[in-house]
Amino acid sequence: MRVRVPRQGPRVLRGLAALLVGLVAAGSWFAVWRTRDTLALQTALAVLARGEAAAARDALVAHVDCGRHEGTARAGVALATAWLGDGAPVVPAAAELHAAGAALLYHRALRTRELGALERVARVGVDAGEPLAAAYLLAAQVEQPEEAAAETTLARHRAAVEAVGLGREAVRVLALRQAGAQAVVRDRRGRALGQVDGAGFFRLDAGIDPELVQPPFEAAAARFGPGLGLRLSLDLELSRLALRALGGVRGSIVLLDVESGHVLAAVSDLRTRRREPAAAFEQRREPASISKLVTSAAGLRAGHDVDREIAAMTCRGHETYAGGTLWCSFPGGKMGGLGHAMAISCNTVFANLGVRLGRAAVLAELARWGFASGDAGSEVGRVLRAAGNDRQLADLSIGLTDTDITPLHAARFAAVLARGVMPESALLAARDGLLGASPEAIGHAPARVVLEDPAWVDVLRRSLAGVTEPGGTASGVAPAGFPVAMKTGTASEWRVGYHCNYVGVGPLPHPRIAFAVRITHGSNSSRASRAAREVTYRLLHALERAPL
């Protein structure tokens, strides 16, 4: 007899498949739920880190009883409550504070100078044993300043405070304030420089080389008056770099931010500083051949095709004008155009161009580039004689005899090659807190427009390409990683010797730094030029590796 067995297999399989699909769906829903819950918590903590404590607390309360994120949420609520100062926060565990982003909140409060809130949230951290909290609590008290409270915090938590860089700086600044300091002074990056003492004098910190800070910086800091903190435009790293590049050569170097006009470095060798303490700002010498840029710009402004006109000229090594003869250092021969004339720095072709343009045009262009008649400060050069014959106009066109310039003005002069404007120099960068954590930029005067047509900037920069190439007056000084547009100039002064002005901007194609290298007291032209090339080589190769 046959027994029939019901065919249950397919039905069981269908049931198992349905169960599996349900489990997968439930697992997916649970994973999505947990992910959304985690994202919501992270969003709330991000809101807290922005200092929006009320909104963050409202969002975090919903997570306090969720189990998985309960501790982190509770810590966030405690921080938000302390920030707002409208209740007594429950002290969470240190690990929970860390997970809630306490360090971010401390840093924000210090940076934005919400010091009362910082003190309250840091106290929560101190009570919880959070490692960074004591340093930030002391920082809040030093910044306000609450010297008695700061002394108590330091006495109770010295080990925790001094384990953190911020804490060590707070201890240092507290001592300065107790000694009567009116303001704490830093460089543009926030590195300690000195302080303004109770008598209103600027004092350098121990370990800061006085050769890096010329008197105008000191005067600017002292004029700032009583306040919290100050950042000078000076950059300690770039200043040290410039001083090393100068070495034992007599002269000065100025580095300038082409956008802001911040004087990043202004240094001189020791012998120069002994005779002229502010030489980088005030020493006056003839600009020499860097003025060929001015004469070329005057030609472009007058509508001349300067490149074509110079290409039609021949340098015979000398040229006679009404009033006398002008000499070149050597016969340059047939000119290949503006770039060739700039590269070998031929005197006579630019003198010829200046005489063609006329004295009025050359003087007007000099004024646009910052040269004034009569007495002038370090911001501007001087035109020492406005009238004269063609031989004297030839000198004026190539930067000899009748004009002078300071290293500071030479750097501003060079900055025109970046964007066609000459920035006003600035020695103050920002107001700041005592600890250097909350800089607020100080506005600077608008730049002087020199070259209204961007095409003129392009013509001048392209004309300088050969200066640093083989055969140019600064052949080989610029590294591949820091290409520059630069011009050289060499002249002499009776009983003082030969000097050089090497000026330029870099790195191309978007320059950030303008530089002026001045070398003085050369016994002859070739020695002065060789020293200037060596110093400029060291400077530019160091700038190639430096953070700008």
- Residue-wise pLDDT for 85-114, tens only, equals 887 777 888 888 888 888 999 999 999 999
The lowest-confidence range among 131-140, 200-209, 221-230, 301-310 is 221-230
pLDDT, tens digit (0-9, with 9 covering 90-100), for 214-233: 999 999 999 887 778 999 99
The lowest-confidence range among 22-31, 281-290, 448-457 is 22-31
How many Å apart are CA 256 and CA 427, to the nearest integer? Answer: 10
Within the chain, how many helices (H) and strands (E) appear? Answer: 22, 20
When pLDDT is cut at 50, 70 and 90, the band that residue 12 belongs to is low
Mean pLDDT over 68-87 rounds to 82
Q: Which two tokens stand for residue 373?
A: 């008649």
pLDDT value at 123 more than 60? yes
Helices 292-301 and 359-368 pack at an angle, to 10 degrees, of 110
pLDDT, tens digit (0-9, with 9 covering 90-100), for 361-401: 999 999 999 998 766 666 689 999 989 999 999 999 999 99
CA R_g for the chain? 34
Predicted model pTM: 0.89
Bridge partners, 405 (sequence order): 285
Please give the DSSP secondary-structure letter assigned to residue 467: G
Please give the DSSP secondary-structure letter assigned to residue 249: S
Amino acid at 66: C
pLDDT, tens digit (0-9, with 9 covering 90-100), for 313-322: 999 999 999 9
Amino acid at 294: V
How many Å apart are CA 544 and CA 158, to the nearest integer? Answer: 42
Secondary structure in 3-state letters for 259-322: CCCEEEEEEECHHHHHHCCCHHHHCCECCHHHHHHHHHHHHHHCCCCHHHHHHCCEECCEEEEC
Residue with tokens 């900055």: 415
Higher pLDDT among residues 342 and 200, named by residue = 342
Q: Which two tokens stand for residue 89?
A: 């926060």
Q: Which two tokens stand for residue 62?
A: 């919903």
Burial class (CB in 10 A: 0-12, 13-18, 19+), 517: buried
Mean pLDDT of all residues in the chain?
90
pLDDT score for 10: 60
When pLDDT is cut at 50, 70 and 90, the band that residue 25 belongs to is very low
pLDDT score for 33: 38
Mean pLDDT over 434-448 rounds to 92
pLDDT score for 24: 46
pLDDT value at 188 more than 80? yes
Higher pLDDT among residues 68 and 167, named by residue = 167
Higher pLDDT among residues 516 and 20, named by residue = 516
Bridge partners, 404 (sequence order): 382
Higher pLDDT among residues 207 and 505, named by residue = 505
Beta strands in 388-528 (DSSP E): 403-404, 421-422, 428-432, 440-441, 448-449, 485-493, 497-506, 513-522
Q: Which two tokens stand for residue 386?
A: 């406005």
Beta-sheet pairing, 381-383 with 371-373: parallel
How many Å apart are CA 246 and CA 78, to the nearest integer? Answer: 57
pLDDT value at 499 more than 90? yes
How many Å apart are CA 351 and CA 504, to the nearest integer? Answer: 22
When pLDDT is cut at 50, 70 and 90, the band that residue 77 belongs to is confident
CA angle in degrees (0–180, nearest 5) for 256-260-264: 30
Long-range contacts of 492-498 (CB under 8 A, 24+ apart): 492/525, 493/285, 493/286, 496/520, 496/521, 497/521, 497/522, 497/523, 497/528, 498/522, 498/523, 498/524, 498/525, 498/527, 498/528
Q: Which two tokens stand for residue 516?
A: 């002026």
pLDDT value at 31 more than 70? no
Residue with tokens 């608008």: 446
How many Å apart are CA 503 and CA 413, to the nearest integer? Answer: 8
Residue percentage of the chain with pLDDT more than 90: 72
pLDDT score for 444: 86
Residue percentage of the chain with pLDDT more than 70: 91
Mean pLDDT over 32-41 rounds to 59
Cβ atoms of residues 90 and 78 within 8 Å: yes
How many Å apart are CA 345 and CA 332, to the nearest integer? Answer: 9
pLDDT score for 475: 96
pLDDT score for 34: 45
Q: Which two tokens stand for residue 325?
A: 């003869």
Domain boundaries, the chain: 47-174, 308-402
Cβ atoms of residues 414 and 514 within 8 Å: yes
